[in-house]
Structure 1
Amino acid sequence: MNIKRIFPFIIIAFFLSCNPNSGNSSKEQYIESMQKKESEKHDDLYANAGKLVSEIDFSIKATEEQKKDWEDGIIPWISLENAGTEINQLINADEIVIKNPSIHIIFDYPLNNPDTFEFKNEKGFSRKDLILLISKQYHEIYEEEEVTSDIKTIPVNKRTGLINRNETHGKYGIWGHDLSDLVLSGIEVHETNKGDINIILLVQS
C-alpha cells in the first residue's frame, strides 16, 4: 500500500460536543462559531466529491469494562488516536468494503486547511486497512502541524476557559480538538464521473 498527496478537497465532519467549561455565553458563542465553520464547507464538499455510492460504519465490540456504558456491547466508533489498540475489537475488520485499488481520502476535520491523500492497494480495502491508514495519517497531520506552527498547542493541564485545543496556524491550521478527542464512526464513499473514489470521513469528537 502506498500513498501520495493530491489536490485538496473540502469535507464536512461531525462533532458531538466541544466540552467548554466556561459560562453559557462563551459556550454558545463557541458552538455557533464551530457550526458556522463547518456549514461553510458543506456545499463545496458534496459538489466536488461525486455521487454517493455507499456508506460504511466502524463499530467495535465493547470490553467487559466498557459494557457498563454500552449495554448492547457495541460502541459505534473507533478511536483515531488509538486505532492500533482497538483494532482487535473492530467488527467485520477483514471485510473488503472498497474494491477499488485507488482511493482519495479527504482530511478536513478539524483543519482550516484541508488536504486529500491518495492510497493504493491492489486488493482493495478492508475496514482494518482503512482505519489504520486513516489513523496514521491523522497522527502525521497533527505532528506536522506542531512543527510548522509558531503557535504551539497549550497542554491540557494549562488551559483555562474552554478546555478545547487552541487553534494553531501551521500547515493545516488545526482548531478545536486534540487527536485524542477524535473518533471515526463511518465513511461515505463517493464516485466522480471520471471514476475517482473520494472518501468523506464521518469524524466525531
Structure 2
Amino acid sequence: MSQGPVGSDGGPSDEGRAPQRLVSGRYRLLERLGEGGMGVVWRARDEVLGREVAVKEVRAPADLDPREVHRLYARLEREGWAAARISHPNVVTVHDVAAEDGRPWIVMELVRGLTFAEVLEAEGPVPPERAAAVGLEVLAALRAAHGAGVLHRDVKPGNVLIANDGRVVLSDFGIAVVEGNTALTMTGELVGSPEFLAPERALGRVPGPESDLWSLGVMLYAA
C-alpha cells in the first residue's frame, strides 16, 4: 500500500473518520486517508509532540497462516526502522514504529499534495522536462536509500508524492529489504507492482539497486 492518498486534499467523508482511537498511547487517529492490500493509512495527531502525522496501519491478509502473520509483522517492523534511518528531503520521514494489537504501526510525516499517479491520471503524459525533474528527485531518494543499504522494491507513480510546496517525496518503503539481513523475507515471495517489476525480480533472482533503477525507468516511460 502506498502513502499516496495521504497527500489528497479532498475533504474527509464520514466513512473516513476514525473513532478517535489512540494508538500506542500517543497517536490519535483522525481520518482515513487511503487503503490498500496491506492496510490503511490514517491522518493522526501525535499527542506528545502536538503535530499531525500519517500512520500506516498494517493488516495481514485474513487467510495467512498465524506463523506467517508473525513473520510478516516482524519483517515490516524491521523494515519500518530501516526506512527511519534514511534521512533525505526526497524520502518520506519515518518518525516511529509503534506497537499495538501485536502488529506494527508505521508513523510518518504527513505530506500534503498528490501522488504522481494522480497527476498523470488528471493531466495525462507530462512534458519530458517535468518527467525528468521528478525522476532526478526520485533518483536522489534512491541514492540515499541504497547508501543506507535499503532497497525500495516498489518504485511507481503511486509511491511518489508531489507535495503542495513542490517537493517530490518517495514513500512506502513497506516492502523494502535491507542488504545483509534477509532472514525474514519469505522464500520465493514476489512483492511490488508487476508492471514496474525488474526482470531479475520477476525471475526470482536476488534484486539489487539496479532493480529499483529499472522501476524508475518504467515510471519515467509511463510519465
Q: TM-score, normalised by structure 2?
A: 0.27
Specify which structure has the bigger relative contact order, considering alpha-carbon pairs within 8 angstroms and separated by 6 or more residues: 1
Report the TM-score when normalising by structure 1: 0.29
